[in-house]
Amino acid sequence: SNFIAYWGQSSAGSQKSLGDYCKDSSVDAIALAFLYQFPNTKLDFSSNCRSTFPGSDLLHCPDIAADIKYCQSQGKAVLLSMGGAAGAYGFGSDSEAQTYANTVWDMFLGGSGSQRPFDDAVLDGIDLDIEGGSTAGYAAYVAQLRSHFEASSDKSYYITGAPQCPFPDAMLGSTLNSAWFDMVFVQFYNNFCGLDAYPQGFNYEQWDAWAKSQSANKNVKLYIGAPGSQSAAGRGYVDASKINSIVSDIRGKYSSFGGVMTWDASQAFDSSSWGQSVSSGLKSGGAQKRAMDPYSGKLISTRAANVTAGALHARLELIESTALEADSADTFAFLVRIQSVGQPIQRGWEMRIPLSAGIAVAEASAQSHHIKVHEDMLVVADGGSSDRSMAVAFWVAGRHAGNEFGLPDPARIMLFA
């Protein structure tokens, strides 16, 4: 369950640098706001970038470029959001949209344009926050971008959308039905169907039904869009404890749930701990349960959760083992099972499992995969096997300090792809 924040509009009145927000482990991905005018490209990151290319009004942002690279080094995806509530944008035809997709590829993604606002920093994808103008061309735009994605083997790229919660969305509705989106950040605020209308008026169920029956990508992940503070939206703000309760309810009912999106980083993090509290709630799943081992007849502990990295989704199960006879009370052993959910993975991946203090791993191995202990983490990486289902099972054994061993929380496991 990921926590995604928009950044770049200083909606709280000021904002920290992009890199500062990426230092916070609460944030899993950031959308830069906004590319607010197109196809005549204009950007605005509210005073965090002021320089332009010679003879042009196109922003040139080397400091943000360095921050993008830092964020990515921390395992955080960085997207560029197009549109916004205020801006002059839109396409007159599919042909114009396709041409502009080529421009965006060369300017911000894996292409090689002569003027790149973030120099050689390569963004992880494009977000469509279309709130005005014409509805024409966006499906063609997404399709053209995806043709570039498919031709590139360097990295994975993502397409996301940010519709309003009334269904269907007035601006993106038809595009969401026909184009392939990896994630959809539904804005459950400033509308009658927002978080403040939960449970009777909150319409996540409608969006879940769309995801599973109408979406081009039947494994698309839906995010609950939430204001980061009372002043971040006209209506729809709820405090951290309330949204954590809503999240617990939604992810228990709907497999489409992917996480929480917030508008925006300055509101969610700078004047309160709302962002940290919501992110912590998202990642506190995987409660430890007791179950009967069918082989030994003993009660054992189990934990399970879904983890997400961009468009990659995996199910993790940790199961206490009775196969190895404990020679003392401080010995432990458990089985880890990992399985991709939805589309198969297309390239290497890495998973980092935080270990509690006092845990000493003596044995860990996984056939056809790399596994090691590094800085209090158990690190499992794709070994280049031909099995793209990400099906992995391995033993972990060792000793622990204290009276009782607890399985690691799978919801806190970090997945990189």
Distance spanning both ends of the chain, measured CA to CA: 15
Closest CA to 31 of 361, 326, 265, 273: 265
| Catalytic residue (one of 131, 363, 375, 404) | 131
Longest distance between any two alpha carbons in the chain, whole Å? 76
- Contact indicator for 256, 291 with CB cutoff of 8 Å: no
- Contact indicator for 344, 389 with CB cutoff of 8 Å: yes
C-alpha 346/C-alpha 87 separation (Å) is 36
Note the helical H segments in 270-389: 274-282
- Contact indicator for 126, 104 with CB cutoff of 8 Å: yes
C-alpha 158/C-alpha 182 separation (Å) is 6
Residue 131 appears among annotated catalytic residues: yes
Amino acid at 408: P
Within 10 angstroms of residue 170's Cβ, the number of other Cβ atoms is: 12
- Contact indicator for 110, 151 with CB cutoff of 8 Å: no
Strands 125-130 and 158-161: parallel
Strands 257-263 and 289-292: unpaired
∠ CA 343-349-352 to the nearest 5 degrees? 120
C-alpha 11/C-alpha 306 separation (Å) is 32
Note the helical H segments in 109-203: 138-151, 173-178
Written as six digits, the tokens of 258 are 């992917």
Question: Which amino acids are annotated catalytic?
Answer: 131
